[in-house]
Amino acid sequence: MAWFYNGHESKSLADLDNLVKDVIFSDDFQKEDLEGFSAKKVVKEMNEWIGPKSDLRVEDGWVEGSVEIPLPGEGVKKAEADAPKLKIDGIFYRKPLDVIQAVFQSERSQNFHYIPFKLFQRHESQPGNDSDDHVDIRLHHELYNSDAYIKEYEHIQIQQHERRLKDPKLAEEPEVENVPVGIMAWSDETHLTQFGDQSMWPIYIYFGNQSKYERAKPTSFAAHHLAYIPKLILDPEFMHAYEHGILVKCGDGIVRRLFPRFFTYSADYPEKVLLATIRSLGHCPCPHCLVEKHQIRQLGMRWDRSPRIDTEHRQNIIVNLRRWIFDYGYRIASQAIENTFSNCFYKFGTNFFLMFVPDVLHEIELGVWKAILTHLIRILFAYGNDTVQELDAR
C-alpha cells in the first residue's frame, strides 16, 4: 500500500523499479502474505486504525462554539454592549483542561518533570594546576530548568500556603503537590488551497514538563491541536483552574494540583502582530520591545532594552479607545484593540508580551539573520587568509 500511495497519480517506470527493488526483492517479502489480499479491505482497516495508547478519550474531543463580534459604525453613537453583533456559529475547538487532564493522566506523563531544578556543568581546573578551583556553568536546555518556570513554581507554593492559612476548609484538605503546567503554544497561518487566499490559524500546544528530546519526536504525538481563536479556549473554567488549580491523578498514580501556565508562544512575525495586537511594521514594530522603526538599525542599544509591558496605563488607553469608537462613533484608526491574553492574565500580574519567544525557523534559519550571516561569511571569504576558520573556531 505504501507503494500504491507513493508518487504521482499515474505511475512511472521509476515507480515500477521501486516496486520490484523495494517490495518484491525485500528480505521480509513473502508472497504468502498476499493470499486473500483485498485493497478495499486494507484501505478500510487503515481508515479505522486509531493508533496505540491514545491519550485522548472521546469526551476530550472537539466541541462546537460560537463567537459574537460587536460591529461599530462611523458616526453611530451606541455603547459596545448595545452595538449590533455578528454571530459566527460552527466554530470547533478543544478545551485545554480536557487535554491537560488526558495527557497528565496517561502513561507517558510518568516521564514528566513536576519539580524544577537548575542544571550546572562543572569545569575542573586544568592539569598541572594545584588549585582546587572549578567553574560551574549554568545550562539552559529545558523549560523546567528555566528561571521563569522556577519562579512560577515558587510563586504557586507560596500562594497555596497562604490560602491554606486563610481558609479553614483548605487547611482540612490533604496537602498535595502543586505543579505549574508548562504550556508552550504555537501557531502559524496555514493556506487551505493551492490557489486562492483561504487560510486559517491553527493553535497547537506542547507541555514543557516533558523533555524536549521526547517532545520533539514525531512518534511521541506531543503536539495537541486546540483551536483557531484564543478567546474560545480561555473560558471561565480554564481561568478558574489558572487561579485555583485542578486535582489530577497523574500517570504515576500521584494526585497533584495542576496550574495551567502559558510560558511561551512561538509564531512568526505576522502572527505575533495579531497576538500582541500591534500595528504591523508600525511606529514600534517589535512585539518584544519599544524600539522605533527608524532605530531598528541600532538593535542592541538603549531603546532595544525597553521591553513592552502590559500595564494598567496601556489597559486604560485601550478602554478609552473602544469607548470612543462605540460611544462617540469615531472611525477606527488605531491598532490598540482588546487583547484576549491581556484581559485574562493581567490581574495575575502576567506580562503576556514575554510569551512571544524568538522563532528559530522564521527568525534565524529562514529569516534576516540568515541573510546577515551569509553576507558576513562572504566578506570573510573576500578578505581571505584564515578568517572563515577563525569564525568557525569562535
**Three-state DSSP class for residue 347:** helix
CB neighbour burial string for 263-278, b if at least 16 within 10 angstroms, e if fewer = bbbbbbbebbbbbbbb
User: Which of 276, 335, 338, 339 lies closest to 308 in space, CA to CA?
Assistant: 276
What is the amino acid identity at position 270?
Answer: P
Looking at residue 181, what is its pLDDT? 95
How much is the average pLDDT of 23-29? 82
CB neighbour burial string for 180-193, b if at least 16 within 10 angstroms, e if fewer = bbbbbbbbbeeeee
Looking at residue 62, what is its pLDDT? 78
What is the amino acid identity at position 214?
Answer: E
pLDDT tier, 52 (very low <50, low <70, confident <90, very high otherwise): very low
- Which single residue is written with the C-alpha cell 500546544? 205
Concatenated DSSP letters of 281-307? T-SS--SSB---GGGGGGTTSTGGG-B
Q: In this structure, what C-alpha cell is assigned to residue 34?
A: 498476499
pLDDT tier, 119 (very low <50, low <70, confident <90, very high otherwise): very high
How much is the average pLDDT of 81-88? 86
Inter-CA distances, 272 with 168, 240, 268, Å: 44, 26, 6
Give the list of residues 6+ apart from residue 261 with CB closer than 8 angstroms, or none: 152, 180, 181, 182, 183, 242
Q: How confident is the model over 323-375, as pLDDT tens digits?
A: 878 887 777 654 445 555 666 666 677 777 777 777 776 677 676 778 888 88
Looking at residue 132, what is its pLDDT? 62
Q: How confident is the model over 278-306, as pLDDT tens digits?
A: 777 778 888 888 888 888 777 777 666 77
Residues 93 and 226: beta-carbon distance below 8 Å: yes
> ∠190-196-200 over CA atoms, to 5°?
25
